[in-house]
Amino acid sequence: MRYISCLVGLLFTCALFAQYDYPVYETDKLPPAEYSKRREAIRQRMAEGSIAFFFTNETMVRNNDVDFLFRGDSNFLYLTGFEEPDAVFVMTKDPFTLNGKSVREALFVNVANANSITWLGYRMGPENAMKLLGVEHAVANSEFASALPVLMQGRTTVYVSNAPAGGRDTLNRMSQAVTTVLTEAKITPARDVRTWLSQMRQIKSPAEIAMLKKASEISALGHVEVMKAVRPGMREYELGALLEYYIKKNGCEFVGYPPIVGSGENSTILHYQSLRKQMKAGEIICMDAAGELRGYSSDVTRSFPVSGKFSPEQEAIYEVVLKANEAGIAKCRPGVTTGAVGAACSEELAKGMIALGIIKSANELGRYYMHGFGHGIGLDVHDPMPGTLAPGACLTVEPGIYIKAGSPCDPKWWNIGIRIEDAILVTEGEPVNMSKAAPKTVADIERLMAR
């Protein structure tokens, strides 16, 4: 009887997986052909007879049996579009044979089973990975160790793009296996592939730009909702929660980074995180928050008054920062260096701060403006960007002024932190402000908040 029960269970499980079809909920992801084109561009730069290994992240424990929400390595996503943990992608210049099939690339992934579907949800698995992502070959990651000697046979040049978890020290069993083989063979892994990927990611494709435009617009409209809702007595975390609700309600899977919502003295902290303070009338809020859509993150910051109306001092600093923001955006054109964009921002900030009597010379600006003008955006919220701008570059322009209590200036300026950040697309002509839906003039902000 026990044997019959086990047999019935086995037949049921087999029937379950015979019918198993990986669900696809989003239809606007990048097409497989785009990933294939990227992989071919890397392959063309590889040495003859070489092999490249690309690892994604593992799941990371938050506490006890609770994991952090998984997010894959960006270079891995860029080449494969595969979003699950514990995977490795292998690519060669010349064909190799795996499971009787001659291929130049293989994706090693977790497989679906009764336990994973019951407890964790759907896994794409090898067959679906080939069908949905367009990779030449995909197999279970449990086969990686046994396949490694075949993959490494005769290889003298081995590219390793990264260790899991963004290059940190933690290694999964697959990357550790590669490290062991390389050590035993006395092969030093080549890192050139990291540079190649960084160069490729500097200029976005039309499909990537569409993602960033949508993520930026959703994020900007989220800032609008926050401005309309804020009242004295609310906590900073309420604004972060409202923004996160809005962007997820409108299609973003995640926030691109933990929201920064600092009021009063906290507005002067660049990456303020605790969000516990109760906001008071008369304080300024610096809110840096944006959504991530299909892996692509925007980055938007707006500064606005808790009570809906800027004080004279807040308005004066705000106008200085706004002029710098607009000057930087105007420079975002083909052929312009990022240094020139940064210089335009700094010049306006210094000029405005000198006019207000807060500093005496441009050399003192660093006391109140201690970061760069911006950065690239894409699969990482701080994505690679070209040193000289070109059409398809996507970046932020985010000048700011942060005056902490105790600063060597009139106390009326203390506890004012203002940053204005927009997501910009470089085109053949005028720069496109992808986050323009969030108002940023004093008049527009006060008008919106008065409603």
- Give the model confidence (pLDDT) of 362-410 as tens digits: 999 999 999 999 999 999 999 999 999 999 999 999 999 999 999 999 9
Based on the fold, state whether residues 342 and 241 are members of the same structural domain: yes
398 vs 137, 275, 325, 419, CA distance in Å?
Answer: 43, 21, 6, 6
Based on the fold, state whether residues 234 and 264 are members of the same structural domain: yes
User: Is 405 a member of any domain?
Assistant: yes
- Residue type for position 261: V
Instruction: Express each pLDDT in 266-288 by its tens digit.
Output: 999 999 999 999 999 999 999 99
pLDDT at 3: 44
Mean pLDDT of the chain: 93
Of 200, 234, 249, the one marking the end of a domain is: 200
Instruction: Express each pLDDT in 204-236 by its tens digit.
Output: 999 999 999 999 999 999 999 999 999 999 999
pLDDT at 168: 44
Whole-angstrom distance, CA of residue 46 vs CA of residue 373: 35
pLDDT class for 176, splitting at 50, 70, 90?
A: confident
User: Is 18 a member of any domain?
Assistant: no
Give me 138's structure tokens. Answer: 């995909």
pLDDT at 68: 93
Based on the fold, state whether residues 150 and 232 are members of the same structural domain: no
The full 3-state SS of the chain, as one line of letters, equals CHHHHHHHHHHHHHHHHHCCCCCCCCCCCCCHHHHHHHHHHHHHHCCCCCEEEEECCCCCEEECCEECCCCCCHHHHHHHCCCCCCCEEEEEEEEEEECCEEEEEEEEECCCCHHHHHHCCCCCHHHHHHHHHCCCCEEEHHHHHHHHHHHHCCCCCEEECCCHHHHCCCCCHHHHHHHHHHHHHCCCCECHHHHHHHHHHCCCCHHHHHHHHHHHHHHHHHHHHHHHHCCCCCEHHHHHHHHHHHHHHCCCCEECCCCEEEEHHHHHCCCCCCCCCECCCCCEEEEECCEEECCEECCCEEEEECCCCCCHHHHHHHHHHHHHHHHHHHCCCCCCEHHHHHHHHHHHHHHHHHHCCCCCCHHHHHHCCCCCCCCECCCCCCECCCCECCCCCEEEECCEEEECCCCCCCHHHCCEEEECEEEEECCCCCCEECCCCCCCCHHHHHHHHHC
User: Is 13 a member of any domain?
Assistant: no
User: Is 288 a member of any domain?
Assistant: yes
Q: What is the Cβ-side half-sphere exposure of residue 22, based on CA atoms within 13 angstroms? A: 19
Based on the fold, state whether residues 371 and 355 are members of the same structural domain: yes
Of 161, 179, 200, the one marking the end of a domain is: 200
pLDDT at 170: 45
Q: Which residue has the tokens 């919502």?
A: 261
pLDDT at 161: 85
- The number of folded domains in the chain is 2
User: Is 17 a member of any domain?
Assistant: no
Report the predicted TM-score, pTM, of the whole model to 2 decimal places.
0.93
Mean pLDDT (whole number) for 289-315: 98
User: Is 19 a member of any domain?
Assistant: no
Based on the fold, state whether residues 275 and 412 are members of the same structural domain: yes
Residue 75 has pLDDT above 80, yes or no: yes
* CATH number for position 63: 3.40.350.10
pLDDT at 171: 53
Of 176, 200, 224, the one marking the end of a domain is: 200
* CATH number for position 347: 3.90.230.10
Based on the fold, state whether residues 422 and 442 are members of the same structural domain: yes
Based on the fold, state whether residues 314 and 383 are members of the same structural domain: yes
pLDDT at 97: 95
Based on the fold, state whether residues 170 and 61 are members of the same structural domain: yes
User: Is 183 a member of any domain?
Assistant: yes
pLDDT at 175: 86
pLDDT class for 173, splitting at 50, 70, 90?
A: confident
Based on the fold, state whether residues 244 and 305 are members of the same structural domain: yes
pLDDT class for 163, splitting at 50, 70, 90?
A: low
Q: Which domain holds residue 330?
A: 202-450
Q: Are the C-beta atoms of 437 and 423 separated by less than 8 Å?
A: no
Residue 9 has pLDDT above 70, yes or no: no
Based on the fold, state whether residues 207 and 192 are members of the same structural domain: no
User: Is 11 a member of any domain?
Assistant: no
| Active-site residue set | 65, 271, 288, 299, 371, 375, 382, 398, 402, 419, 421
| Torsion, CA 130, CA 131, CA 136, CA 138, rounded to 10 | 10
Whole-angstrom distance, CA of residue 261 vs CA of residue 248: 18
pLDDT at 279: 98
Based on the fold, state whether residues 225 and 143 are members of the same structural domain: no
Instruction: Express each pLDDT in 35-49 by its tens digit.
Output: 999 999 999 999 999
pLDDT at 399: 98
Give me 150's structure tokens. Answer: 């075949």
Based on the fold, state whether residues 28 and 115 are members of the same structural domain: yes
